[in-house]
Amino acid sequence: MAANATDYFAIQNTIAQYCFALDSKDFDALKQVFTENVDTIYPFRGAIKGVQAVADAIKKRLTPVTSQHALTTQHIVIAPSGKAADVTTYFTGIHFGQGKWKGQQVTAWGKYIDRLVCVQDATALAGASGKWLIERREVVFMARLGEEGVMEAE
């Protein structure tokens, strides 16, 4: 099955939903972003396998802060089969300190290097070939600026 134009929007929505889940601290929503057995590499933790383990690690990391994650430049290549896609997305993540770190922040610039798969699911975007979920993610920091202490609990 070949991909269609709506698949590009569906892929973008999946990656954007990740940012909304993090910033709203709705870590259960990551189950709508990642496959059950997702493989990830995060700079703050290394390799993490499985959606629940990823959600737990991110929750621990973001608990001490308020954050805003923004997506910018993106390149999407859907495989000829229409069932997988390789996507690189640039991001900016701003983390605002709380408690003793209030008024300070650390900003991360980087990229998500993702492999998504298309699965059949009733919650798929209308017109898409199916629901696109991330099965592999590597987060690469390009730069960080600010007070790293904001990422620590008080």
pLDDT tens profile 75-134: 999 999 999 999 999 999 999 999 999 999 999 999 999 999 999 988 888 999 999 999
* Contact yes or no for 88/113 (Cβ under 8 A): yes
CATH number of the domain encompassing residue 98: 3.10.450.50
pLDDT in tens, 23-72: 999 999 999 999 999 999 999 889 999 999 999 999 999 999 999 999 99
Instruction: Measure the CA–CA gap between 44 and 74, rounded to whole angstroms.
Output: 23
Q: Residue 107 and residue 148: Cα distance in Å, rounded?
A: 9
Determine the Cα–Cα distance for residues 73 and 111; give it in Å rounded to an integer: 9
Q: Are 86 and 115 in contact (CB under 8 A)?
A: yes
Residue numbers of the domain that contains 51: 5-151
**Given this model, what pLDDT does residue 2 score?**
72
The answer on pLDDT for 1 being more than 80 is no
pLDDT at 125: 87
- The DSSP element (H or E) to which 110 belongs, if any, is strand 105-119
Domain count of the chain? 1
